Structure 1
């Protein structure tokens, strides 16, 4: 869906905001804390029904009000019709009710609403993925898959529920042996079935992203051409999925995982937790076959994460029935990059991205190619106005 307009009401510090969005780039600029990221968060909410900053949706309702509303209007090229999507958050005491509507009709199932606006998000917090723990990197992969495979959300939720249940039985004392065996057997069968699907989708995702990721990093980082002029080569970026069970064919993943759960049951009982499965796997980002988290500079780290996002945009466009790329949301994208690499980044974005909304403290940091349609808005204390200098 190509978004043509955004309306935000009582969302964080945005009392009333209206933006007209073009098919190209929209630049939001202003001081830190002005409300730029709140706009991206509101768009992400319509895409995923979640915030990327908090699990408590009540805190996004503007102080002193009881409800927030985010409305997007756009054109669905796949269906050939205009469409209006709305997400309303109603705060009632300690709980927050979320209501989603599509063209005036309430959508009861989150899975049926999720993905009507496909969005790819970059935030500065994503840079912590490289040096953080495996949990963050698994979530990084799964967020991509949520937009590609509607069933992946349900599988992740089912797997986590089965995992908690198995761990509870492993730690429970005094349970009759027959009942313990029955319950563990049930949970292990479910973990193997669901876990094999998670394992397969993650592997397929990285395989599909691999070449595009390497190419995007070379374009953004820009060292390949310089090194080649001197007879060398720039650093090569790649992705690897690490699984404790090693390389296993798709047909063998379910039985292999089930066998591993059975074999480790005694060990897991002593430890009180499940030691094998997709919840223990990892995404490894490499530079010249070495883990980037160990030595990549801040600029390289930013280029690696942005390359992953660009690869995600390219594959999403190719998988789309109408060839439309997803909405790209970029928060504070150009910091930590020197001017030359910033120029390379925006040249690459101009070539591969479709509709893009990005934030910056100053428009002078955003040097987009002349042929890219660009709209600019100034954000100041929750008020959004077209930039009079560059409207």
Structure 2
């Protein structure tokens, strides 16, 4: 099991200075809307690569009345110290320190697996392809920490290729071929990792206990693989005219269906979509624990308030003993009967209760 034993925030969102002593298991945050509960979850999400659960700009995470930068520091159960944040002089550049030494952000994925579910994700199945692709990539990253490297290198090479194709008369053909070779290398790795995740997650969902969370069918569409380097070469003119790359794994979509009703998840009710998404996240968390030998840290923002009592009880029961699970709610009563660490959040202040 991997969990945080301490979390410290400095000038992060509305928290000038917060320190939370933690234990494995459930961590429950209660307080009024706007008190700063979700901000704490966002801080934890910054212990993963990327832009966190809100996908916000780094400079927007710094406290408005603060000096301009922020820091999030955590101690893991094994004593490892992690610290990430920005400096006032460089508000758009995030740094990472591991046990006091500078380290690449990619190390976060090697040390922790962090997954989240927020109210903004409730309509994921009716959202854009990009949103579902980002969701799938987070699931894949938790299973294969090297996935983030391939994603960033692929995107960088694609941006450079698009720029060259916008001015074909001055484009260096050798450099264009080199960029396409890089896109092919990293793009094929991206595609293969996503396929493995979809296959493994489909198997995990099929084997999950029958209960209050419907089973989801998963299909990866929009790109079937093949010789990507050749596909890019033959698509140069078309891509240049379109102003973007029209073939590759960046065009993929995760199509989800409600298996029991044999219908697309996007056509399900809001409550069913929430339950489908929860079922996916729960099955994935169990898959990560089996594959990597460590349970992921789950961040569930306002999840209990939108579940009926039966599903709420089923959720708590299934999460019991499965790692550190952070949950927020406006009322502490939503967590009645749940054993764990409790905090009350009010106006950027955090108190244990």
Match of 1:163 in 2: 158
- For 1:150, the equivalent position in structure 2 comes to 145
What whole-Å deviation, never above 9, does each CA across 1:204-252 have from its counterpart, x for those lacking one?
011111132345584333xxxxxxxxxxxxx64211111343xx6xxxx
Cα 1:169/1:70, change in 2 over 3 Å: closer
Q: Aligned match of 2:91 in 87, 95, 99?
A: 95
Answer with 1 or 2: which has the greater Rg.
Answer: 1
- Which secondary structure state, in structure 2, belongs to the residue aligned with residue 150 of structure 1? coil
- 1:334 equivalent in structure 2: 304
Alignment-derived partner of residue 232 in structure 1 = none
Name the structure 1 match of 2:179.
187
Q: CA RMSD in A?
A: 2.4
**1:2-81 pair list within 5 angstroms:** 2-48=3-49, 50-66=51-67, 67-76=69-78
CA distance in structure 1 between the partners assigned to 2:243 and 2:8 by the alignment: 49
1:381 Cα offset (Å): 1.0
CA contact (8 A) 1:99 1:106 kept: no
For residues 361-372 of structure 1, what are the structure 2 equivalents within 5 Å? 361-368=330-337
Note the 1:1-391 alignment, pairs <5 A.
1-48=2-49, 50-66=51-67, 67-76=69-78, 82-92=79-89, 95-103=91-99, 105-175=100-170, 179-180=172-173, 182-214=174-206, 216=208, 218-221=210-213, 236-245=215-224, 253=226, 255=227, 257-288=228-259, 289-293=262-266, 295-320=267-292, 323-350=293-320, 353-368=322-337, 373-387=339-353
- Number of aligned residues: 349
**Structure 2-normalised TM-score?**
0.89
1:328 CA drift (Å): 1.1
Contact 1:48 1:114 in 2 (8 A): yes
Q: Which runs of at least 4 in structure 1 moved beyond 4 Å after TM superposition? A: 214-218
**Conserved in 2, the CA contact under 8 Å of 1:87 and 1:99?**
yes
Distance 1:208 1:34 in 2: 39
Q: TM-score, normalized by length of structure 1? A: 0.81
Structure 1 residue 183 displacement after superposition: 4.1
Question: How far apart are 1:316 and its partner, in Å?
Answer: 1.2
Query: Mean alpha-carbon deviation: is it higher for 131-140 or for 116-125?
Result: 116-125
Measured in 1, the distance between the counterparts of 2:216 and 2:39 equals 32
CA distance in 2, matches of 1:149, 1:212: 16
Cα shift at 1:342: 1.9
Q: Secondary structure at the match of 1:335?
A: helix
User: Structure 1 regions of 5+ residues with no counterpart?
Assistant: 77-81, 222-234
Structure 1 residues 64 and 192: CA distance shift in structure 2, 3 A: same
